[in-house]
Amino acid sequence: MNRPLNKVLYLEDDPHISEVAMIAMRDIGGLDVIRCETGADAISQIESFQPDLLLFDVMLPDMDGPQTLDKIRNLSGFEKTPVVFMTAKAQVQEQKRYMELGALTVIVKPFDAMMLAVQLRSVWSARASVSDACPA
């Protein structure tokens, strides 16, 4: 189960933030990433892309990150796809809510672009270690 993180489905509507994040993940981190601007776009792309990890902005114009995750959880085969949320809202109670929704972690904006892929791989590895140690 401890396979490396390769594919990330990234949901972000801000073109400036997404440009930095895409460079960080793809060019610096070597990850295979597709970016979606809306929750509906993420839902329509997930089956063909088959991501290892979801990286979702919380605040979006149509449906927000948590709402998009809820819809993805209802798709066959994606009930347990790991998710990381990104948000500028750093309040503890909000981060706690995202963790309760099943997030591996919450990355606070502004994020360190040079460390984004490292952060994602770190939570990916920690998740794999936990699931290896606790078989279902």
| Residue 130 banded pLDDT, cuts 50, 70, 90 | low
Q: Tell me whether the omega of the peptide bond preceding residue 135 falls within 30 degrees of 0, making it cis.
A: no
| Residue 135 banded pLDDT, cuts 50, 70, 90 | very low
| Residue 62 banded pLDDT, cuts 50, 70, 90 | confident
Reply yes or no on whether the pLDDT at 31 is more than 80: yes
DSSP string, 90-106: --HHHHHHHHHTTEEEE
SS3 122: helix
Domain ranges for the chain, please list them.
7-130
The alpha carbon torsion through 8, 107, 118, 39 (nearest 10 deg) reads 10
Residue pLDDT, tens place only, 94-127: 999 999 999 999 999 999 999 999 999 999 999 8
pLDDT of residue 61: 87
The answer to which of 7-11, 61-65, 83-87 has the lowest mean pLDDT is 61-65
Q: What is the pTM of this model?
A: 0.93
DSSP string, 21-57: HHIIIIIIT--EEEEESSHHHHHHHHHHH--SEEEEE
Q: Which residues share a beta bridge with 97?
A: none
| Residue 73 banded pLDDT, cuts 50, 70, 90 | very high
CATH class entry, domain 7-130? alpha beta
